[in-house]
């Protein structure tokens, strides 16, 4: 239940930031997205086998970088901006996974 709430809030923040960038003053919304992305990854993803999550993060980031949805008439720009913000959520979570995995390897003395 908590993971669904965190993920839902992260996606809601991404939609708000994608549709109305700068709507929340002080640049707090991107920070909230990063924190929620890290929280979601830490709560939900197994650090021993993060391949599925990291693959999804790379696909979302590639789609955002390629501007694939900008060709949709009228709303493509908004959709592409939302995908860019969702990529922030996923990539921050991916960084958290890699950090936890590196910490586990170092603490076990495997490195």
Q: What is 19-87 written as a DSSP string?
A: HSTT-SGGGHHHHHHHHHHHHHHHHH--TT--HHHHHHHHHHHHHHHHTGGGGSTTTHHHHHHHHHHHH
Answer whether residue 9 shows pLDDT above 90: yes
The whole domain housing 89 covers 2-108
Who's near 47: CB < 8 A, 6+ residues apart?
97, 100, 101, 104
- Write the pLDDT tens digit of every residue in 17-71: 999 988 888 889 989 999 999 998 888 776 566 788 888 888 989 988 888 888 8
The whole-number average pLDDT for the span 64-90 is 89
Q: How many domains does the chain have?
A: 1
């Amino acid at each position: 239940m908590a993971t669904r709430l965190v993920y839902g809030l992260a996606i809601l923040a991404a939609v708000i930031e994608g549709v109305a960038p700068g709507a929340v003053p002080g640049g707090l919304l991107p920070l909230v997205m990063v924190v929620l992305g890290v929280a979601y990854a830490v709560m939900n993803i197994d650090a021993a086998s993060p391949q599925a999550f990291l693959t999804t993060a790379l696909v979302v980031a590639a789609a955002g970088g390629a501007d694939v949805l900008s060709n949709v008439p009228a709303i493509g720009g908004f959709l592409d901006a939302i995908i860019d913000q969702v990529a922030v959520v996923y990539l921050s979570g991916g960084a958290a996974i890699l950090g936890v995995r590196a910490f586990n390897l170092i603490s076990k003395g495997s490195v």
